[in-house]
Structure 1
Amino acid sequence: MLQNLSLFAVFACLCLLPLSSRGQADAAYAKTIRKHRKHYKQEFLEDERAPLNRKGVKKLRFYAPDTSYRVTATFERTTDAESFDMPTYSGITKPYVKFGTATFQLKDTTLQLAVYQSLRLIRMPQYRDYLFIPFKDDTNSVETYGGGRYMDITKSAIQDGRLTIDFNKAYNPWCAYSDGYNCPIPPLENHLPVLIEAGELDYQKR
Structure 2
Amino acid sequence: MKHFLLLFLFISTLSCAQNKRPISGDTEFQQEINAEYKDATTSPLKDKDRKNFKGLEFFKFDSTFVVKATFKRTPNEEVFKMKTTTSRLPEYVKYGVITFELNGRSHELNIYQNQGLIKTEEYVDYLFLPFLDNTNGEESYGGGRYIDMRIPEGDELVIDFNKAYNPYCAYNERYSCPIVPRENYLDLDIRAGVKAFDKH
TM-score range, shorter chain: 0.7 to 0.9
The number of equivalent residue pairs is 173
The partner residue of 2:83 within 75, 79, 87 is: 87
The CA deviation string for residues 141-192 of structure 1, in whole angstroms up to 9 with x for no partner, is 010000110000111xx24300000000000011001111110001111011
Could you tell me which residue of structure 2 aligns to residue 21 of structure 1? Answer: none
Distance 1:72 1:33, change over 3 A: farther
SS of the residue corresponding to residue 36 of structure 1 reads: helix
Could you tell me which residue of structure 1 aligns to residue 32 of structure 2? Answer: 39
TM-score, with length taken from structure 2: 0.81
| Structure having the larger proportion of residues in helix | 1
Residue type at the aligned position of 2:167: P
Residue type at the aligned position of 2:187: P
Matched, 1:177 2:171: yes
Residue type at the aligned position of 2:60: A
Question: Given that residues 34 and 55 in structure 2 are in contact (C-alpha distance below 8 angstroms), is that contact kept between their aligned partners in structure 1?
Answer: no
In 1, the alpha carbon distance for the partners of 2:40 and 2:74 equals 34
Question: Aligned residues: percent identity?
Answer: 43
Could you tell me which residue of structure 2 aligns to residue 63 of structure 1? Answer: 59
Distance 1:33 1:98, change over 3 A: farther
The CA deviation string for residues 46-101 of structure 1, in whole angstroms up to 9 with x for no partner, is 46363226445424100000000000000000010110011011232111011100
SS of the residue corresponding to residue 93 of structure 1 reads: coil
Deviation for aligned residue 1:199? 0.6
Could you tell me which residue of structure 2 aligns to residue 166 of structure 1? Answer: 160
Deviation larger for 67-76 or 191-200: 191-200
Could you tell me which residue of structure 2 aligns to residue 109 of structure 1? Answer: 105
Matched, 1:139 2:162: no
Question: Given that residues 61 and 201 in structure 1 are in contact (C-alpha distance below 8 angstroms), is that contact kept between their aligned partners in structure 2?
Answer: yes
Distance 1:33 1:95, change over 3 A: farther
SS of the residue corresponding to residue 183 of structure 2 reads: helix
In 1, the alpha carbon distance for the partners of 2:171 and 2:147 equals 17
Matched, 1:118 2:140: no
Residue type at the aligned position of 1:177: Y
In 1, the alpha carbon distance for the partners of 2:168 and 2:126 equals 18
Question: Given that residues 59 and 204 in structure 1 are in contact (C-alpha distance below 8 angstroms), is that contact kept between their aligned partners in structure 2?
Answer: no
Structure 2 regions of 5+ residues with no counterpart?
A: 1-24
Residue type at the aligned position of 1:68: T
Question: Given that residues 36 and 42 in structure 2 are in contact (C-alpha distance below 8 angstroms), is that contact kept between their aligned partners in structure 1?
Answer: no
What is the CA RMSD across the aligned residues, in angstroms?
A: 1.7
Deviation for aligned residue 1:193? 1.3
SS of the residue corresponding to residue 96 of structure 1 reads: strand
Distance 1:75 1:48, change over 3 A: same
Structure 1 regions of 5+ residues with no counterpart?
A: 1-31
Could you tell me which residue of structure 2 aligns to residue 10 of structure 1? Answer: none
Could you tell me which residue of structure 2 aligns to residue 153 of structure 1? Answer: 149
